[in-house]
Amino acid sequence: MSILKFKNRLDDMVLSYANVTNNWDGDIIECNDYVKDRICFQFLIHAESWWDDILPPIIINQTEFIGNLYDDSDESYLMNMIRGDIYLYLEDRLREMVQESFDRVHNTPVEPFAGYERGQ
């Protein structure tokens, strides 16, 4: 899997969430926990290179662990805590990616960085 495939999937997720949630401006922080978990799950299944950074080295079958954590979870305190910690670890990167996706699917013009003006 690849990040490019994740970005394509993310566009669909962002568009559907924006259609359900009025006045959402594309900031992942404003999403509910279910949406954050879905975005984290999609990111993880498409970005295997991040697994060693996120998952404990004791996990032998990382694919199965991620599947159980997000799809087959028993919603226990421990599972919720692990998903929450993974989200917090990924939050900065996902926040940027979700905002870019939101801007892309809504054709929002990107404002140039103000520091490029003369004298700055």
Please check the confidence at residue 119 and state whether its pLDDT lies above 70: no
pLDDT score of 108: 83
Instruction: Give whole-number Cα distances, 94 to 11, 72, 98, 115, 116, in Å.
Output: 13, 23, 6, 25, 26
- Angle, CA 11 vertex, CA 9 and CA 15 arms, to 5°: 120
pLDDT score of 3: 82
Per the CB < 8 A criterion, the answer to whether 87 and 35 are in contact is no
Neighbours of 13 (CB within 10 A): 18
Q: Where are the domains of the chain?
A: 3-107
Per the CB < 8 A criterion, the answer to whether 9 and 42 are in contact is yes
| Residue 116 binned pLDDT confidence (cut-offs 50, 70, 90) | low
pLDDT score of 75: 82
Average of pLDDT values for 99-104? 94
The CA distance from 111 to 106, in Å, is: 14
Average of pLDDT values for 86-102? 96
pTM of the model: 0.85
Please check the confidence at residue 120 and state whether its pLDDT lies above 80: no
Kindly report, residue by residue over 46-86, the tens digit of the pLDDT: 999 999 999 999 999 999 999 999 987 788 899 999 999 99
Task: Outline where the chain has alpha helix (H).
Answer: 3-20, 33-46, 51-54, 62-70, 77-105
Kindly report, residue by residue over 20-29, the tens digit of the pLDDT: 888 899 999 9
